[in-house]
């Protein structure tokens, strides 16, 4: 049986947990926060399916760059992003032109 669940997401960001773990966080004010958690905090507001943008940590995206975290914006799944630790979260959100 299949069920449909409504969501307020206008976009979803898939963040590679394996890459993020290997960087030891690397984001946020102290540089110790994983990318997915830092993005969720920066966008604030609602959580889960009530948020405007879903941030989903996935097991592994299979790219495994040395000094970056792999991320996919589902609005443009052909363009994968490599985010270097220390990149400002506000800068990432602005570059992605995510809905507020």
| Total number of residues shown for the chain | 100
Q: Residue 33's Cα: distance from chain center in Å?
A: 12
Report residue 9 CA to chain centroid gap. 13
Q: What is the value of pTM for the model shown?
A: 0.85
Q: Which DSSP state fits 33?
A: B
For 38-93, how does the pLDDT look when each residue is reduced to its tens digit (9 = 90+)?
A: 998 888 766 777 788 889 999 999 988 989 999 999 999 999 999 999 899 889 98
Which three-class secondary structure state does DSSP give residue 43? helix
């Amino acid at each position: 049986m299949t069920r449909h669940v409504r969501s307020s997401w206008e976009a979803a960001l898939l963040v590679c947990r394996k890459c993020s773990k290997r960087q030891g966080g690397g984001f946020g004010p102290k540089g110790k926060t994983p990318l997915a958690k830092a993005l969720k905090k920066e966008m604030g507001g609602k959580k889960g399916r009530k948020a405007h943008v879903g941030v989903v940590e996935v097991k592994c995206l299979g790219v495994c760059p040395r000094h970056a975290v792999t991320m996919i914006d589902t609005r443009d799944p052909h363009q994968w992003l490599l985010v270097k630790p220390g990149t400002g979260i506000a800068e990432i959100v602005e570059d992605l032109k995510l809905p507020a």
